[in-house]
Amino acid sequence: MLVADTARVLAAIPDEPLGREADDRRARLRHAGDRADFTAARLLAAVAHCALTGAPLAAGDIVQRCDACGGPHGRPLPSAVGIHLSWSHAHGRVAAAAALDRLGVDVDAPVRPSGALLAQTLSPTERRIVAASADPDAVFLLAWTAKEALVKAGAADLDALAALTVLAGDGEVVPRHGGLAVACRRFSGSTASAATPQPALWRTIDDSGHLTPLPEGTVGGAA
């Protein structure tokens, strides 16, 4: 599991074409920051693939296909050597991971959820945990990113998030769900979550693009 600032990814990893479909999607994004995040996430996914297999993967060879409509978005297809990828980006932060089976990752910036959003996304147990927390916004983000990661991995239903409980306590997530290891980290003010076949190995990149251990910031689940 790799997490990094968008600016560092773009400075450390050589730019390359993302492929016609991804390039077209990127060009339609209105804000430069969104285009940068879009690019960095795919570059970091290619790095994650190489870190797992030792084999390079061109960002332009990554293909996405929607499970519902078949469009060039949604879950990435396995690479030519059968490696599954997932990535996420939000407001200058990116996360990406590779595995031998389906997985999901999510990263998001702090948010103050409305009562309606809490009701739509948290189970009754989770709402009680959030309400009792000294930092309810951070605990909500923990649950939100963990559930998003599980949805991307195919282990949860986006339309039934309130029926799923991932919080094990204040600042803790369940270690496993749906046969996947679940873990979360705080990074640069954001929260990243991973739902992976095996416990995630958390890394970031340095200024030269080399992988380094992610500074400690575990907030729940299996590190």
User: In degrees rounded to 5, what are phi and psi of residue 210?
Assistant: -80, 150
- Enumerate residues 6+ apart whose C-beta is below 8 A from 93: 3, 4, 5, 6, 37, 107, 109, 187, 188, 190, 192
- Nearest-10 crossing angle of helices 20-27, 32-53: 150
What strands lie across the sheet with 203-205, from one edge to the other?
84-90, 93-99, 2-5, 203-205, 211-213
User: Which tokens belong to 143?
Assistant: 């649950």
Out of 102-111, 164-173, 209-218, least confident range: 209-218
Does residue 88 contact residue 94 with C-beta atoms inside 8 Å? Answer: yes
With cut-offs at 50, 70 and 90, classify the pLDDT of residue 187. Answer: confident
The answer to whether residue 184 scores a pLDDT higher than 90 is: yes
pLDDT in tens, 119-176: 999 999 999 999 999 999 999 999 999 999 999 999 999 999 999 999 999 999 999 9
CA gap 90, 106 in Å, rounded: 9
The verdict on pTM exceeding 0.75 is yes
Domain residue ranges of the chain, discontinuous segments joined by + = 2-221
CA gap 50, 56 in Å, rounded: 5
Mean pLDDT, rounded, for 2-23: 96
Residue carrying structure tokens 């992976």: 196
Helix, strand or coil for residue 151?
helix
Sign of the dihedral through C-alpha 51, 53, 55, 59: negative
